[in-house]
C-alpha cells in the first residue's frame, strides 16, 4: 500500500472562490437535513440518543447533498468505507458532519478520518484539499449555526466560516484559541489562524440575501 500524499493547507479565499455559487448547496444540504429531522413525529424524536440523532441528520445531509450534486456541474459524490465526500472540480473534498463548539467534527476517529483531517489525499480521491461542512446545536438541541471549516489535524482547524441566511452582522472575536494538536503523543506544528470569524450570507431562492 503506497504512502498517502500530504497536502498543503488551502487559504479561505481560495477555497471559497473554487466553491463559488455552489456554497448555497452546501448550506442548504445542512439546513434541509435539519428540517427533515424536525419532520419526524416528536414522540419518535424524544427517544433518540445524541448519537442516533446525529446519524439520522447525517443521512439526510448526504441525501440532500446528493440531490444537489445530481443537478450541479463540477461536483461528484464519492464513498470510501462509509466516508462520503463531495468533490468540487477535482480540487476540494467536502464531508458533512456535526461539530462541537470548537468546530471539530464529532465522531470516533478512524485512521481514514485522521488522514482526511490531516490533509492527506485518500486513495482514489482526486482532490487537493479537504474541507468539512457541518452544524452546531445549542444547549436545547436546536440548530445554532452552520459552518465550513478547513481541518488542520484531528483537533484543530486552519480556518472557519459561518454560513447564514439571517443577515446577522455579529462576529464573535477571538474564537480561535491557538492549540497544539496532539496525535499519538506527537505534537503537530502550531498553525496561525484568523482572528475573527468570516460570515457569509447565503442568498435565498429569489436571489436576495
Q: How many CB atoms lie within 10 A of CB 84?
A: 17
pLDDT tens-digit profile of 79-110? 888 888 899 999 999 999 999 999 998 777 88
Pure H helices in 20-76: 23-38, 42-45, 50-70
pLDDT of residue 186: 39
- List, for residues 17-28, the tens digit of each pLDDT value: 999 989 999 999
Task: Using 70 as the pLDDT threshold, list the residues of the chain that sit under it.
Answer: 1-7, 166-197, 201, 203-209
C-alpha dihedral, 59 to 65 to 71 to 74, nearest 10°? -130
* Exposure letters 51-75 (e unless 16+ CB within 10 A, then b): eebbebbbebbbebbeebbeeeeeb
Q: Would you kindly state where each structural domain of the chain is located, as residue ranges?
A: 5-201
Strand (E) or helix (H) holding 18: helix 12-19
Q: Is 148 within 8 Å of 163 (Cβ atoms)?
A: yes
At residue 112's C-alpha, the angle toward residues 106 and 118, to 5°, is: 75
Amino acid at each position: 500500500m503506497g504512502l498517502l500524499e500530504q497536502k498543503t493547507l488551502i487559504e479561505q479565499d481560495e477555497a471559497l472562490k473554487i466553491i463559488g455559487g455552489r456554497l448555497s448547496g452546501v448550506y442548504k444540504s445542512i439546513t434541509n437535513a435539519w428540517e427533515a429531522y424536525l419532520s419526524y413525529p416528536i414522540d419518535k424524536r424524544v427517544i433518540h440518543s445524541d448519537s442516533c440523532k446525529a446519524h439520522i441528520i447525517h443521512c439526510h445531509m448526504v441525501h440532500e447533498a446528493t440531490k444537489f450534486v445530481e443537478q450541479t456541474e463540477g461536483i461528484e459524490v464519492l464513498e470510501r468505507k462509509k466516508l462520503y465526500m463531495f468533490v468540487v472540480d477535482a480540487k476540494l473534498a467536502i464531508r458533512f458532519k456535526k461539530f462541537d463548539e470548537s468546530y471539530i467534527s464529532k465522531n470516533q476517529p478512524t485512521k481514514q478520518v485522521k488522514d482526511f483531517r490531516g490533509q492527506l489525499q485518500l486513495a482514489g480521491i482526486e482532490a487537493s484539499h479537504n474541507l468539512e461542512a457541518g452544524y452546531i446545536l445549542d444547549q436545547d438541541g436546536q440548530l445554532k449555526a452552520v459552518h465550513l471549516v478547513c481541518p488542520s489535524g484531528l483537533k484543530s482547524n486552519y480556518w472557519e466560516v459561518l454560513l447564514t441566511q439571517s443577515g446577522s452582522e455579529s462576529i464573535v472575536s477571538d474564537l480561535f484559541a491557538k492549540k497544539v494538536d496532539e496525535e499519538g503523543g506527537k505534537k503537530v506544528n502550531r498553525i496561525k489562524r484568523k482572528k475573527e470569524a468570516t460570515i457569509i450570507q447565503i442568498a435565498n431562492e429569489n436571489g436576495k440575501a
